[in-house]
Amino acid sequence: MEQKIIIVGAGLTGSLLSIYLARRGFHVEVYERRPDMRTVGMSAGKSINLAISTRGIHALQQVGLAEKVLQKAIAMKGRLIHSVAGELNFQPYSKNEHEYINSISRRELNVMLMDEAEKFPNVRFHFHHRSTGINLQTGEVQFVDERTSTETTISGATVIGTDGSASAIRMEFLKTGFFNFSQQYEDYGYKELTIPAAAQGDFRMKKNALHIWPRGAYMMIALPNLEGDFTCTLFMSESKATPNLRDLDSGEKIRRFFEEVMPDALPNMPNVVEEYMHNPIGSLLTVKCSPWNVGGKALLMGDSAHAIVPFFGQGMNCGFEDCYYFDTLLEKHGNDWETLFTEFSALRKENADAIADLALENFVEMRDLVAHKDFMLKKKSEVLLEQRYPESFISKYSMVSFHRIPYSVAMKRGQIQDRVLMKICGTLETIEEFNVEDAFAQITQEFTKAGIEKNLTTR
């Protein structure tokens, strides 16, 4: 089993994967374009913090890291909706106390994973090494040392590309001519801003919540950090709609925007103008492709295989779940890479596509629906259904965030449930008017029509 595996990209997926492979005795060489974030002050990438939930936690549990990671996380028990008038509405994520999502620093998590990986004598990280391509016939990978511009070629038993949404390894797959690829850019970008801690290091807003300022076509969210601050992310049209991120190009326009649409946030954002002017606009992409492997020579995993928009908080969770399933197939197939990679792609592709679509759908929910009466009634109706029919009904949000039900199953069931419940709730004034039995009958009728089992095997 002492074959050499090359991993390209030491982000969240690549670093966790290196641990899984090291535990099975492989010799793992991880090549990363950036410097070592443990030794230089640099951004850890796409977002300051992110939400980890059941799927990601489960994958960490398998390598004994869940507890350690969660000690550095802050529980977010529900959404706290901020209206323009400054009214607050808390919507719990679940009726069960133990079901919540967790805010964690991306840097801290990535560092923990790399530290843990390096405890294995059979794992080595090479920083400043940018892959420029792979020869898919031989499996040789080309790298440039970003400090010296020196080029090197490395080969191993196989190569796994965890080099993110703009994957260089994937570029080579495109050239084979036997590869499907789509990249969808929404006219949405994001800006990260800060609500700093109060004088004594206290949180300026409710700590254990994911804050949302839903404004129809756009929204801001805020996730808590251990230091008492919140990282805010403003998701808005990048350039085409009004308002858009690029149009806010002066201190006056930025201030006026926040005064008008998020007046309760502005007093908590003393550096908003400087941060807005300084921080880049991030882009949001959905990447779908197949197959994820070229024989047994190379495999794509994590965002390089399936980049999704962040509105369900599942991109990393899905990448971590990839690592878990990859490991179960390692158990089954050992180093028969072609069989393993082919089965892995078949198993995960349908689910990656499903969470990509669910994430796009959830943007509408977060930026718009959460503020509407029908939606709030729907949330309450879901609690009643979950209490009454625990074997058969779990809300879409819970199936995705608090269970390990395949994403494709969660999507099929969840979309039917949502459609039926939104229709019913649109006719109600209060939740007391909701008829649980009747709603359940309508849902199961739709399940039957779609060939879906009534009962659900969970977790």
Ligand X SMILES: Cc1cc2nc3c(=O)[nH]c(=O)nc-3n(C[C@H](O)[C@H](O)[C@H](O)COP(=O)(O)OP(=O)(O)OC[C@H]3O[C@@H](n4cnc5c(N)ncnc54)[C@H](O)[C@@H]3O)c2cc1C
Chain residues binding ligand X by CB under 6 A are 8-14, 31-34, 45-47, 50-51, 130-131, 162-164, 168, 190, 233, 282, 302-303, 310, 313-317, 319
Q: Is residue 299 within 8 Å of 293, Cβ to Cβ? A: yes
Q: How far is the CB of 242 from ligand X (least distance, A)?
A: 23
Closer by beta carbon to ligand X, 300 or else 377: 300
Q: How far is the CB of 66 from ligand X (least distance, A)?
A: 15
Which residue do the tokens 């499907």 mark?
A: 180
DSSP string, 357-420: HHHHHHHHHHHTGGGSHHHHHHHHHHHHHHHH-TTT---HHHHHHT--S-HHHHHHHHHHHHHH
> What H or E segment, with its residue span, contains residue 278?
helix 272-278
Closer by beta carbon to ligand X, 398 or else 442: 398
Closer by beta carbon to ligand X, 14 or else 291: 14
DSSP letter at 302 equals T
Q: How far is the CB of 48 from ligand X (least distance, A)?
A: 9
Residue with the shortest CB distance to ligand X = 11
Q: How far is the CB of 441 from ligand X (least distance, A)?
A: 35
CA distance 199 to 228: 10
| Maximum Cα–Cα distance across the chain | 71
CA distance 298 to 161: 7
Q: How far is the CB of 231 from ligand X (least distance, A)?
A: 10
Q: What proportions of the chain, in percent to the nearest 5, are helix, strand and coil?
A: 40, 25, 35
Token pair of 214 as six digits = 């839903």
- Which residues face 143 on adjacent strands? 131, 152
Q: How far is the CB of 13 from ligand X (least distance, A)?
A: 3
Q: Is residue 417 within 8 Å of 395, Cβ to Cβ? A: yes
Closer by beta carbon to ligand X, 8 or else 424: 8
Closer by beta carbon to ligand X, 14 or else 78: 14
Closer by beta carbon to ligand X, 105 or else 444: 105
Angle at 102 between CA 114 and CA 67, to 5 degrees: 55
Closer by beta carbon to ligand X, 162 or else 442: 162
**Neighbour count for residue 278 (Cβ, 10 Å):** 8
Q: How far is the CB of 431 from ligand X (least distance, A)?
A: 30
CA distance 364 to 406: 22
CA distance 316 to 299: 18
Strands (E), 291-388: 293-294, 298-300
Q: How far is the CB of 249 from ligand X (least distance, A)?
A: 21
Closer by beta carbon to ligand X, 314 or else 442: 314
Q: Is residue 48 within 8 Å of 192, Cβ to Cβ? A: yes
CA distance 56 to 323: 10
Q: How far is the CB of 345 from ligand X (least distance, A)?
A: 15
Q: Is residue 232 within 8 Å of 193, Cβ to Cβ? A: yes
**Neighbour count for residue 33 (Cβ, 10 Å):** 19
Closer by beta carbon to ligand X, 54 or else 233: 233
Q: How far is the CB of 191 from ligand X (least distance, A)?
A: 10
Residues 6+ apart with CB under 8 A from 318: 55, 302, 306, 308, 351, 352, 355, 407
CA distance 296 to 209: 44
Closer by beta carbon to ligand X, 46 or else 297: 46
DSSP letter at 231 equals E
CA distance 104 to 373: 31
Q: How far is the CB of 185 from ligand X (least distance, A)?
A: 13
Three-state secondary structure call for residue 122 = coil
Closer by beta carbon to ligand X, 78 or else 319: 319
Q: Is residue 105 within 8 Å of 118, Cβ to Cβ? A: no
Closer by beta carbon to ligand X, 130 or else 255: 130
Q: How far is the CB of 303 from ligand X (least distance, A)?
A: 4
